[in-house]
Amino acid sequence: MKAVWVLAGVVVGSGVALAGVGLTIARHLTAPVSGRRYDLTIRGVDNTGERPVVILDRTPATAGHGDYCLILENGSLVKLARAVEDRGPSLVGREVVGESGPGVAAGQRASWSGIYFQSPVDAGLQSTDVEIQTDVGPAPAWLITSEGPPSTAWAIHIHGLGSTRAGTLRGVQVASDVGLTSLVVTYRNDGEGPRVGTGRSELGAAEVDDVRAAVNYARENGARSVVLFGWSMGAAIALQLAADPKVRGIVTGLVLDSPILDWVATLKANCTRAGLDGWTGALAAPWLTWAALTRRIGLAKPVDLRNFDWIARADELTLPTLILHGTLDTSSPFGLSARLRALRPDIVGLEAFEADHTMSWNSDRDRWRAVLSSWLASLAVAG
């Protein structure tokens, strides 16, 4: 999810009116897709070993064991080894295990990322480019079939706010391994799908229509059952769609990674992450839900945030659901997933990882894959 922590330098100052704070938060949350932030500097590259070792400032992210990447300002993607080398009190070293594009060099600007694969080919998958015909125009998608005869069980993979469909390939690999056909979708105003109006996100309220069109595409092309894989805001979209009577009977399960289960709670968490008082997040709610104010931030119509509160709507859940969530998530609170599991233990499973937002796969790839494979097998989805 596109973090609201960028607001820290925008809304400081005792003279800022509370209404202005709410407006600023709402505008940043829904802002059109912009360039990636390159907030790391490559401090050095050690070429004395068999593979280069990138030297980085020590942070909780760069010092965390797991499978992560650096996305360089020149567009290159650098895959890093799981192990972390101690290079002194303020630096760490990460061995390079894969590169695309020009080589990494000292002084380059980079962004830390959990998006480990750039394309289906990079993830070892064969894909076909297709288009989903939505009400606002064609949305590109990857269609990925597993080996063997065509499967009537499909998975639709939905990325989060500020991310790209490539981020979902971590889950597509597992879906393919168990025999599912995968459809990796885009949606309006995500940077790849159709651009609508001012290009602002509607937080899943309108984007769900585009994913519903993807479900219809799957049904028209042989799918008899669909599992929705949602990441962050993609999980919010999946939950909205699963509650839609129009897809009842074909959507049979949900896999949710770092799900947004309540937008207001998520806004509060992101304000805390930004160093602001958590309660300031609630100031954005009127700007998102009241028509007169919504137009001020560039949205065509209000977003009913109550529809996205799945703690309040827990009784409405009807499908088997697996949640994969990091306990260190400061963007989408892990506690909400724990509460949903406690409220609906009959259908909701929860697997916890020591990871930040959407980084559970990266923190423990083998366990993440094993948990998901086992759950899909218990759902008996392949066929």
pTM for this structure?
0.93
Q: How many CB atoms lie within 10 A of CB 244?
A: 13
- Residue range 127-261+308-379 forms a domain whose CATH class is alpha beta
Per-residue burial over 38-47, b if 16 or more Cβ lie within 10 Å, else e, is bebebbbbee
- Token pair in block for residue 27: 């505008």
Q: How many CB atoms lie within 10 A of CB 236?
A: 30
104, 72 contact by CB (below 8 A): yes
**DSSP 8-state assignment for residue 50:** S
Determine the straight-line distance between the first and last CA of the chain, rounded to whole angstroms: 33
Radius of gyration of the chain (CA): 21
Chain centroid offset of residue 179 CA: 23
- pLDDT tens, position by position, for the chain (383 residues)? 544 444 444 444 443 456 788 899 999 999 999 888 899 999 999 999 999 999 999 999 999 999 999 999 988 899 999 999 999 899 999 999 998 877 789 999 999 999 999 999 999 999 999 999 999 999 999 999 987 788 999 999 999 999 999 999 999 999 999 999 999 999 999 999 999 999 999 999 999 999 999 999 999 999 999 999 999 999 999 999 999 998 989 999 999 999 999 999 999 998 888 888 888 888 999 999 999 999 999 999 999 999 999 999 999 999 999 999 999 999 999 999 999 999 999 999 999 999 999 999 999 999 999 999 999 999 875 55
Residue 354's alpha-carbon distances to 113, 237, 259, 327, in angstroms, are 16, 25, 16, 5
Bridge-based pairing of strands 40-41 and 44-46 is unpaired
| Residues making up the chain, counted from first to last | 383
- Token pair in block for residue 261: 């289960």
The CA distance from 213 to 73, in Å, is 35
- Token pair in block for residue 61: 């992210």
Q: Among candidates 157, 322, 308, 146, which has minimal Cα distance to 228?
A: 157
**DSSP 8-state assignment for residue 81:** -
Residue 336's alpha-carbon distances to 3, 114, 231, 310, 339, in angstroms, are 18, 22, 15, 9, 5
The domain ranges of the chain are 43-107, 127-261+308-379
- Token pair in block for residue 175: 């879906």
